[in-house]
Amino acid sequence: METNTEAFALSRIESDLGYKFRQSSLLLAAVTHSSYAHEQAEDCEHNERLEFLGDATLELAISDYLYEQYPQEREGRLSRVRAAVVREPTLAAVARRLGLDKQIRLGGALRSGPPQAAICADCLEAVLGAVFLDGGWTAARELIVRLFREPIEDAFADRLIFDYKSLLQQHFQTYRTIDGIEYRQISKTGPMQAPQFEVGLFVDGTEISRGRGKTIKKAEQEASRAAYMAIKETED
């Protein structure tokens, strides 16, 4: 059973979400990181499974909304917009806007500072998964559309970068002569069900940046982003 403090925190999250849970235990699990759950004497559900469900719910809801609202757009552009919207930095920004970063239950050393972007993004996905279980597809889709309408508009207006790998490749083709860009996996850490990959980006054999992500593709995008931003800083 949740404590009075937990009940107050959950009520605040519900107010910020604009959604009232019938099963508050789902929301409590959604804001519980595995590091917190592993410290508890009794069984404590954490948010990894809800994150898995929320990730799929989010992608389908965004896809459905884009298909419905932008009938003239081609598949390629819709895919790039969706990719920009569901990226970790966008999810983390939405999570922080909702105040989820202040409500996540963390354990161990993670309590010592504000939660990382990945933790905030995962928590948001878990909350969306919890809404799907609690209220069904319609409730989840309505919430997702409300939360992500502005990021979607930003993506179409090119205020969100879609694909840093392509952007970096285009930059080199336009402004520099190189033999090639290569991505190399540097490390793989974490449990099998939630790995973290680190990738190095090499230009003509020289490493210029690194990136981390839950998949190799995401790590490559983060490495490309770091390289592109560094290049733009030197040009400004």
126 shares its domain with 81? yes
30 shares its domain with 145? yes
Q: What local confidence, expressed as pLDDT, does residue 199 receive?
A: 97
End position of a domain, from candidates 135, 156, 177: 156
147 shares its domain with 170? no
pLDDT digits (tens, 9 = 90+) for 151-185: 999 888 766 665 788 878 877 877 777 778 899 99
Domain count, the chain: 2
End position of a domain, from candidates 131, 156, 181: 156
**Mean local confidence (pLDDT), 46-62:** 97
Q: What local confidence, expressed as pLDDT, does residue 72 receive?
A: 93
Q: Model pTM greater than 0.75?
A: no
Q: What local confidence, expressed as pLDDT, does residue 113 receive?
A: 80
End position of a domain, from candidates 108, 125, 156: 156
- Enzyme catalytic residues: 55, 125
Q: Look up residue 67 and give its amino acid.
A: Y
Question: Per this entry, what is the length of the chain?
Answer: 236
Question: How far apart (Å, rounded) are the C-alpha atoms in residues 115 and 232?
Answer: 28
Please state which of the ranges 37-41, 99-103, 162-166 shows the lowest mean pLDDT.
162-166
150 shares its domain with 49? yes
CA diameter of the chain = 63
pLDDT digits (tens, 9 = 90+) for 75-98: 988 988 898 899 888 999 999 999
Count CB neighbours of 202 within 10 A: 15
Question: How far apart (Å, rounded) are the C-alpha atoms in residues 188 and 195?
Answer: 7
62 shares its domain with 178? no
Q: How far apart are the first and last CA of the chain?
A: 55
Q: Which domain holds residue 180?
A: 164-235
